Homo-oligomer: A and B are copies of this chain.
Amino acid sequence: MSEYMEKLHRNERISALQRILCDSPGKVFTLGMFADMLGSAKSSISEDIDIIRGALEKQGLGTVETITGASGGVRYLPMYSGEETLKLAKRLCLELGKKERILPGGYLYMLDMIYNPDIVSDIAKVFAGRFYKEDIDYVITVETKGIPLAFMTARYMSVPLIIVRHYNEATDGASVNINYISGSSKKIQTMVLPLRSLKRNSRLLFIDDFMKGGGTAKGILELSREFECQVAGIGIMIQTAEPLKKLVGSWFSLLTLHNVDEDNGITGIEPSNCLSISGV
């Protein structure tokens, strides 16, 4: 009863456990930790967890996974089912396809979506669910637009976020800089990451809002090598259909943008192939 003032009843305990699990998704808790926090027997906690797991699974919104062994415990995995993922993707397409989103030059305005906490959380849940099995140590992204998505994915996976920047900042110590060529614009850009950011031999998940040529993703692969780390997954919110061949070999995307017809106000966007085929 270290943390809590009064003893909780079963209903309250379930409420408290669900809150703790929700607040730190992906994080492993031992039954003993819960027992201490709530001042209850481990056997009661174990029953509570079963009830929570049952409720989550009935709702198709994830599960509470039991990890056996010395570092064992339970963790909340807020995974979307294939059906829920496809529903989300279709809902996003409907919103992104709105005529008023088309900007001069055939760009799509979507800042309101990629900075919206509800939408970001939904997409991040899909990314986290997709890559939970990959033993990810860090989520990595490049400033700026992908940061909310990457941060929320990191939160759902209970791992730190790493933000690669385009410019050096004196206040963060020595850094590794690499130059890379943007896949679509062919411009030379710089990536900067402070030396202290990453432990060697880590497994990284690269998250971004948009991928066209794949130049940024390729830059991240190169930068990771300088830190002796490995990119174990790439998760993208929207990829373009063209060019078909990207500068990286494999990635997961939620949506595919085919074209923006500025004259007629029509945007061709749909759930990515992987969603309709495998249902994730």
Contact = CB atoms under 8 A, between A and B. Distances in A.
A274 interface: no
A172 interface: yes
Contacts of A197: 111-112
A12 B58 contact: yes
A15 B111 contact: no
Nearest to A116: B160
A194 B111 CA distance: 9
B14 A14 contact: yes
A82 to B, nearest CB: 15
A266 interface: no
A115 B153 CA distance: 12
Contacts of A104: 173
Interface residues of A, number: 63
A6 B121 contact: no
Interface stretch (A142-150, A215-223, A228-236): A142-150
A199 to B, nearest CB: 11
Contacts of A3: 59
A280 interface: no
Interface in A43-90: 51-52, 54-56, 58-61
A51 B11 contact: yes
Most buried by B among A56, A143, A161: A161
A15 B56 contact: yes
Contact of A107 (B14, B144, B148, B172): B172
A23 to B, nearest CB: 7
A120 interface: yes
Interface string A13-29: 11110110011100000
